[in-house]
Amino acid sequence: MNLPRIPIGEAVDSGVDWITTNLAAFLDAISDLLSFLVNGLTDLLLIPPEFVAIVLLTLLAVAMRSVTFGVFTLIATLLVASMEMWEMAMETLSLVLVATVIALVIAIPLGILAARKNAVSTVVRPVLDFMQTMPAFVYLVPVVAFFGIGVAPGVCATIVFAMAPGVRLTELAIRQVDKETVEAGEAFGGTPGQILRGIQLPLGLPTIMAGVNQVIMLALSMAVIAGMVGAGGLGSEVVNGVSRQDIALAFEAGLAVVVLAIFLDRITGAIGQPTGKSVPALIRRKRAESARRQADAEQAAAPQSAPSTTAA
């Protein structure tokens, strides 16, 4: 039996054609903007000499997470530098950061909206499923048609591919905030905005950060694939390694991606759920401890002048 063929592919194709011919100016503007952002950020990241940048990243790791992670960062970034992948790594980093920021700017408000309105959630969910499961390579075709070869199609494909978990986890984060606590906000006369800012976002932060983390990881994997359309960075090196059968190059570029991935993952993870082992946290705890000890000493010195405040 022959089913009549439904020309979905052709429809999408002619849709893409229509956009490229009719919205050329708009696409050019976007392309210019994205290239400007990514190249600008790359230049910025490359201003400090490698070793200065490595020290800065290590300090960031120590401040955000722990001394152990700082040691890892130091060794891993030195490794990247010694493989002569530093410039490419920074290109990829800026592509990932730009794509992530744009994806989150769209995803978080959309997630909040979906959490509030079931109708939005119902519409958004299948779209996200589609975006996330469509094979990543497929995105490369239309974006190349839109933007040609370069950074812009890479960023665009990355945004589309990476956005879904941002929306999903933001929606989940808002929905799973303890109902009673939200009620408390309402019961004391909070406006929806006050409740969102004061209760839902802070309490949902760990989950939202898990979403951010996912977005970054997906962006990183897509950024490598985007190397195929000339997005530059480590992706291009991987593609070169594959096409030239250069195992050494491919592996080294791949290793740099891994270092980047681990660094970004641990840093964003620490924002969502502080480890308590970061250096500022350690200092704070030391201080609190000594303050407590001092208070105890004072209390012991004058026991009768300090009646228990907890007495019922």
Partner 1 sequence: MPAIEASGLTKVFGRRPQRGVRMLREGADREQLQREGLTAAVIDATFEVKPGEISVVMGLSGSGKSTLIRMVNGLLEPTAGSLTIDGQEVTNLSDAGLRDVRRNKVSMVFQHFALLPHRTVGENAAYALELRGVSRAEREQRAQEALGMVGLGGWGDSLPSQLSGGMRQRVGLARALAAGTDIMLMDEAFSALDPLIRKEMQDQLLELQSELGKTILFITHDLNEAMRLGDHVAMMRDGRIVQSGTAEQILNEPATDYVAQFVADVDRTKVLTARTVMERPVAVVGPDSGPRAAHKLMREHQVSSLLVVSRDRTVHGLVWEDDVADAVRQGSEALPIKSDDVIRVAPDTALAELFHHAAASRAPLAVVNQAGRLEGIIPRVTLLSALSPHQSNGNHGDAGADSGDDTRFAPAGAL
Under a CB-based contact definition with an 8 Å cutoff, are residues 55 and 198 in contact?
Answer: no
CB of 281 to partner 1, least distance (A): 14
Rounded Cα gap, residues 119 and 307, in angstroms: 57
Window 149 to 178, contacts with partner 1 (CB under 8 A): 178
Q: How far is the CB of 184 from partner 1 (least distance, A)?
A: 4
Sign of the CA dihedral with 61 first, then 107, 153, and 137 last: positive
Residue 194 interacts with partner 1 (CB under 8 A)?
Answer: yes
Q: Of 40, 202, 276, 280, which one interacts with partner 1 (CB under 8 A)?
A: 202
181 binds partner 1 (CB under 8 A): yes
Among 8, 188, 248, 305, binds partner 1 (CB under 8 A): 188
Residues 6+ apart with CB under 8 A from 52: none
Q: State the first-to-last Cα distance of the chain, in angstroms, to the nearest integer.
A: 83
Does residue 230 interact with partner 1 by CB under 8 A?
no
User: Cα–chain-centroid distance for residue 72?
Assistant: 21
Contact between 199 and partner 1 (CB under 8 A)? Answer: yes
- CA torsion sign for 242, 243, 248, 250 is negative
Residue 298 interacts with partner 1 (CB under 8 A)? no
Q: Is 274 in the site for partner 1 (CB under 8 A)?
A: no
- Whether 31 and 58 have beta carbons less than 8 Å apart is answered as no
Query: Does 289 help bind partner 1 (rule: CB under 8 A)?
Result: no
302 contributes a contact to partner 1 by CB under 8 A: no
> Closest separation between CB of residue 174 and partner 1, Å?
15
Reference 214, options 167, 165, 255, 260; nearest CA is 165
Minimum CB distance to partner 1, residue 185 (Å): 7
SS3 track for 89-119: HHHHHHHHHHHHHHHHHHHHHHHHHHHHCHH
Nearer to partner 1, 129 or 183 (CB): 183
Q: Is 305 in the site for partner 1 (CB under 8 A)?
A: no
Tokens linked to 309: 């405040």
Among positions 11, 52, 184, 258, the unique one binding partner 1 when judged by CB under 8 A: 184
Least CB distance to partner 1 at residue 299 (A): 11
Tokens for 109? 């408000």
Out of 183, 289, 296, 298, the residue judged to bind partner 1 by CB under 8 A: 183
Task: Compute and round to an integer the Cα radius of gyration of the chain.
Answer: 25
For partner 1, the closer CB: 22 or 299:
299
CA distance readout (Å), 118 to 179, 208, 288: 16, 19, 45
Structure tokens belonging to residue 90:
């920074």
**Within 10 A of 312 (CB to CB), how many other CB atoms are there?**
3
Taking CB under 8 A as the rule, does residue 43 contact partner 1? no
* Nearest CB to partner 1, comparing residues 261 and 271: 271
Q: Does 82 bind partner 1 (CB under 8 A)?
A: no
Nearer to partner 1, 209 or 257 (CB): 209
* Closest to partner 1 by CB, 184 or 247: 184
Query: Interface with partner 1 by CB under 8 A: which residues?
Result: 178, 180-181, 183-191, 194, 198-199, 202-203, 309-312
